[in-house]
Amino acid sequence: MPIRVRTGGPADAPAILGLLDGAVAWLVERGHPDQWGTTPWSTSPAAVERIHRYATDYLVRIAEVDGRPAGCCILAEEPPPYAPPVDERELYVRSLVTDRALKGSGVGAALIDDARAETARRGIGLLRVDCYAGNQGRLVAQYQRLGFTPSDTFTVHPAGAGPWHGQVLEQRL
């Protein structure tokens, strides 16, 4: 199954929201609503605005399989406000989501490979990402399999929800 990664932008926001909605449904079906809740991203005005802002302000990379979006990685040279800052230039994975119907097909790995290449192309030596630390650390372990090392932990307190525990991971290039 060939995976093609291309640069995206604001026109891809509906596809990104569709991928996020699919991930929420997949997590809820498996009894893991703590990661992203139970509300589809596309029905939340704040989430829709965030994705449109990301698609305008940051580098959007879309993975395609058979000509349709299969995953998305959003990269920025600044971390989100909850992530501990570093004293060097970095590229930060602000969002990574894949089509859950293609789980295990290498879409996520292809997007991380692409992020590594972009990091190197910019002459940056540090690639960071954060993820949900719950669910027995399964997502943390996935990023470790992709070559990342855990660095910092953090907790955010979303409105109307309990605390969300996260893990920052890094990879030196």
Torsion over CA: 45, 49, 52, 55 (sign): negative
Nearest to 75 by CA among 47, 37, 113: 113
Residue 172's CB: how many other CB atoms inside 10 A?
Answer: 10
Structure confidence at residue 90 (pLDDT): 98
pLDDT band (50, 70, 90) for residue 160: low
Q: What is the mean pLDDT of the chain?
A: 94
State the pLDDT at residue 11: 97
Confidence of residue 143 (pLDDT cuts 50, 70, 90): very high
Domain ranges within the chain, ordered by starting residue: 4-172
- Contact status, residue 28 vs residue 36, Cβ threshold 8 Å: no
Query: Which of 7-16, 27-36, 54-63, 140-149 is predicted least confidently?
Result: 27-36
| pLDDT tens digit sequence for 80-134 | 999 999 999 999 999 999 999 998 899 999 999 999 999 999 999 999 999 999 8
4-172 CATH fold: Aminopeptidase (3.40.630)
**What average pLDDT does the segment 10-38 reach?**
94
Report the pLDDT value the prediction gives residue 158, as an integer from 0 to 100: 76
Q: Measured between alpha carbons, how far is 126 from 123 in angstroms, rounded to an integer?
A: 9
Q: What is the pLDDT of residue 34?
A: 86
DSSP string, 53-85: HHHHHSEEEEEEETTEEEEEEEEESS--TTSPP
Q: What is the pLDDT of residue 83?
A: 94
Each residue of 35-86: pLDDT tens digit? 888 999 999 999 999 999 999 999 999 999 999 999 999 999 999 999 999 9
Say what the pLDDT of residue 23 is. 95
Residues 6+ apart with CB under 8 A from 154: 82, 83, 84, 130, 165, 166, 167, 168
Q: What is the pTM of this model?
A: 0.94
Q: Are 73 and 61 contacting, i.e. CB atoms less than 8 angstroms apart?
A: yes
Average pLDDT for 135-143 = 93
